[in-house]
Structure 1
Amino acid sequence: MNPLFTPAKDDPGPGRTAAAEGGTRPRVTTTTDGTTPLPVAGGRPGIRKSLPPGTFAVHGTNAETRWEALRGEDYLTPEHLFFVRNHTTTPLIDAATRRLTLWGTGLRAGPVAFTYRDLLEMPAETATAFIECAGNGRRFYGEQQNQKVSGTRWRLGAVGVACWRGVRLAALLERAGMTAAAVALMPRGLDAEYVEGGENLGRVRRPLPVAKALDDVLVAYEMNGRPLPPDHGHPARLVVPGWVGVASIKWLGDIEVSAEPLESPWSTRLYRMHGPGLPPGGGPPLTRIGVKSAFELTWPARLEAGREHLLHGRSWSGNGQVVRVDVSDDEGVSWRPARLHGERHPSGWVRWTFAWTPPSAGNHRLLARAADETGAVQPVRAAYNALGYGFDAVARHPVVVA
């Protein structure tokens, strides 16, 4: 069994529902029909949940979690604190009438459709994993490296960890009759078609290699023990552990299973590195997330002089568990180890603390540098690319001590 997955404790087994066993499976809802976008509310286009300014920084149709809001929270990111990345708007999907359809030349027969109820009645598994936007940390290309990039100016708050429950994608592919000839999948969402620069790119979709699909990908219908909220993919979404967030398609509507390689604008134009030293069409499509760290502090932080402060933070990596975190208050000249504590999951993050007594009043910068189980360590500088993806360098967190 893949160590990422855990059989759901209340899974009643094939052909039996949790309701028959006294469980708490999600109910099929009939809120609105089809893919009706939510109305724009409070000047926040297309996001359903409340976005208090002390909790989120809003970037157009996206909402970034402020790290200080996670201070005191447990391991998992609550839904009300989880960042939102929308290409267009959050749709309201009628789970009772929608079908997840698998189709294509990589199947033995014609299209196979699964209802929401079908998913709930299949053996369930859970996976604790982070989801992170590929552009998380993008603004640091300019602020730390003096490099111009385009795209949403995330700081470090476009990441969250949840316990996802659902059906392994491998199980759906088996039931749909995937053949040995299949090489690629194309999951596609039910959100509105995306228009960029006047060109309609269609619904968000991105190729997924069969090898990854069969390894550790989940078709999730729950987040932290509750049905997926609309902003996070209700009624079902992909969770692709360790990979850039765009691979974890929300509002999953259909999956093409192909005996030929597949491409979309989200793999040929977007979500790949473009810039100096790269081929004219860009580097390969982005997959794994690098090693990253963040302090649970305001930006800038304001701390009292003359006493010790217990700082909190979190570190994560798409390559596996973080095994060490060091902190510096002298621009990386010297480093001291942070104390790792609490839960650890292969595709989650690790929480840590660091006792710091400011050496003086005034302006300081704190640096946190993590290393994962593969030996990968956060670099001093991130590899430049014009779209600002994959910032994994040590972030310099400003602190005002008075």
Structure 2
Amino acid sequence: MLRNPSTYDSNTLPLENDGLSSAPPDGDERNSLVDVNPRGFYIRHPPKPHILNDFITPDDLLFHTIHMGAAVVDPVKWMLVVTGLVKRPVSLSLDQLKRLPHKSVTSFHECYGSPLKPPTEAVWRIGNVVWTGVPLSYILSLASPLPEARYVWSDGLDHGTFAGVSADRYQKDLPMDKAQSPEVLVAYKMNGEPLTKERGGPVRLVVPGWFGTNSTKWLCRLTLEDRRAEGPYTTTFYNEIDPGDSKGIKKRPVWNIEVNSIIVHPEPDAVLVGSTIAIEGWAWCFEPVKSVCISFDEGETWIATEVETRKDFSWQIWKIEWALPSGSYSVMARAEATSGHMQPFKYASALSLNELQKVAPNANATLLDPDLTLSYGTTLGSVLDSMANHLVLV
């Protein structure tokens, strides 16, 4: 069964920012980089959905996505520089950063998928963790942004080549309104522990509600500008067709995470005996999820489940116990956000289905296949016809 926390960690410390330095010469913030090791692209895939039972995802169950290699950083030499369209460029050591007011935010963390092209099916590289750090808005306030500043560029210490494209740094950008949102952190802990090298330590940006690509790891520099960044990770990679463009030409950056859900329970090979089954899972979105419905008749009718209220930017538990006579069933789930957007809302012609179970008479086990997804644009009938998994009550 899914496990929910009883408390949420949130705290602040008194401000102690005496001794803040002005920004050093350009590039000095990169002197803390010791090495990039290992080099090159690396991904650790998440476990099957039925393994994600805990509200807070442990580090060893959370996916990794590293593009150019993992930066090895000397924490003693590390500094964060804030510069650009500001009145007072500043730099912070790691010790100074940790003495600033900080907070903890519980947030789902999701990978977009391939940065080369939009995914054609649900990726489900997802977890839910607690980040601790200083609100980005507070750090920006120390530098006093100028009125013309519209974007915050974030630089990572990693460099190298990805998909044949070389870059001297990983660089992303945030609009000022998002950068000043209270949930956006300059983080140094995950789940109460210092960030590891693989997690972007000693310090990374965290942008709850947005795809993980926007949360720059091995953070070293924030530059306020009046325009978007022009590096490969904002132009070549991580863009998708704007659904508002009737010609299908205009692209938009991969920012907001759209409404999605997974079925976590029952797990594969669970034996269901009796007339009532419990179905549970997680749902998430950049905005709160207001409902999750399940269907046993291929989407002809939908049954509302119980969805718990969101805290911070966490994923939300949904669950239902439903009485059914013995027999064979297919089951699917879809979520709806508070705005009315359905899962997924950017492809209106397709219904995103999570776990589907094609039934066989007289079987006595639930065989779930978490890897089975409905490709965008694929008809429901073609998927059901090709399925061989089973959900049977005995």
When normalised by structure 1's length, the TM-score is: 0.73
2:335 to 370, 386, 393: 370
- Counterpart CA distance in 2 for 1:118 and 1:125 is 15
Q: Relative to structure 1, is the Cα distance of residues 170 and 305 closer, same or farther in structure 2, using a 3 angstrom cutoff?
A: closer
- SS of the equivalent of 1:323 reads strand
> What secondary structure does 1:90 align onto?
strand
Match of 2:354 among 365, 389, 395: 395
- Assess if the C-alpha contact under 8 Å between 2:112 and 2:123 holds in 1: no
| Distance change >3 Å, CA 179–CA 295, structure 1 → 2 | same
The gaps in structure 1 that reach 5 residues or longer are 1-5, 18-32, 47-59, 139-148, 385-390
1:289 counterpart residue number: 257
1:103 partnered with 2:83: yes
Q: Secondary structure at the match of 1:80?
A: helix
C-alpha distance after superposition, 1:256-283 (max 9, x if no partner): 1113443332222222214996667642
Query: 2-side partners of 1:151 and 1:35: how far apart?
Result: 34
Q: For the residues of structure 2 that align with 1:254 and 1:298, how far apart are their CA atoms?
A: 45
Q: Distance in 1 between matches of 2:351 and 2:173?
A: 24
How far did 1:211 drift? 1.4
CA contact (8 A) 2:194 2:202 kept: yes
- 2:261 match: secondary structure: strand
Change (3 A) 1:381 1:177: closer
Contact 1:207 1:263 in 2 (8 A): no
CA distance in 2, matches of 1:165, 1:62: 23
Offset at 1:38? 3.5
* Counterpart contact for 2:67–2:162, Cα < 8 Å: no
CA shift in 2, pair 1:168/1:150, >3 Å: closer
Whether the 8 Å CA contact 2:107–2:131 is kept in 1: the answer is yes
Whether contact under 8 Å (1:166, 1:221) holds in the other structure is yes
Q: For residues 185 and 392 of structure 1, what CA distance do their matches in structure 2 show?
A: 36
The more displaced of 84-93 and 268-277 is: 268-277
- Other-structure match for 2:197: 230
Gap change, CA 1:98 and 1:205, over 3 Å in 2: same
Residues 97-129 of structure 1: per-residue CA shift (max 9 Å, x gap): 11111222x1224x4211111110001122221
Matched, 1:61 2:27: no
Q: Which has the larger radius of gyration?
A: 2
Q: Within 5 Å, give how 1:69-84 maps onto structure 2.
A: 69-71=51-53, 73=54, 75-84=55-64
Counterpart in 2 of 1:124? 102
State the Cα distance separating 1:355 from its structure 2 match. Answer: 2.6
How many percent identity over aligned positions? 27
Residue in 2 that maps onto 1:353:
319
Counterpart CA distance in 1 for 2:348 and 2:34 is 38
Partners of 1:266 and 1:94 lie apart in 2 by 25
Match of 1:189 among 137, 140, 156: 156
Question: 3-state SS of the aligned residue for 1:353?
Answer: strand
User: Structure 1 residues 255 and 175 mapped into 2: Cα distance closer, same or farther (>3 Å)?
Assistant: same
Aligned 8 A contact 1:274 1:283 in 2 = yes
What is the SS of the residue equivalent to 1:206? strand
For 2:121 and 2:201, the matched residues in 1 are separated by 24
**What amino acid is aligned across from residue 204 of structure 1 in structure 2?**
Y
1:334 to 1:241, Cα distance in 2 relative to 1, 3 A: same
Structure 2: which 5+ residue stretches go unaligned? Answer: 1-7, 19-31, 358-367, 369-389
Offset, 1:177: 2.9
Measured in 2, the distance between the counterparts of 1:154 and 1:85 equals: 18
**1:116–1:383: structure 2 CA closer, same or farther, 3 Å change rule?**
farther
The AA in structure 2 aligned to 1:66 is K
Q: Secondary structure at the match of 2:234?
A: helix
In 1: Cα distance, 2:307 partner to 2:9 partner: 27
The residue that corresponds to 1:246 in the other structure is 213
Offset at 1:192? 2.8
- Paired with 2:99 and 2:277, the residues of 1 have a C-alpha distance of 50
- Alignment CA distance shift 1:155-1:292 (3 Å): closer
Code of the residue aligned with 1:70 in structure 2: it is L
Partner of 1:88: 68
Q: What residue is the counterpart of 1:164 in the other structure?
A: 131
Please give the TM-score of this superposition, normalised by the length of structure 2.
Answer: 0.75
Distance 2:272 2:224 in 1: 60
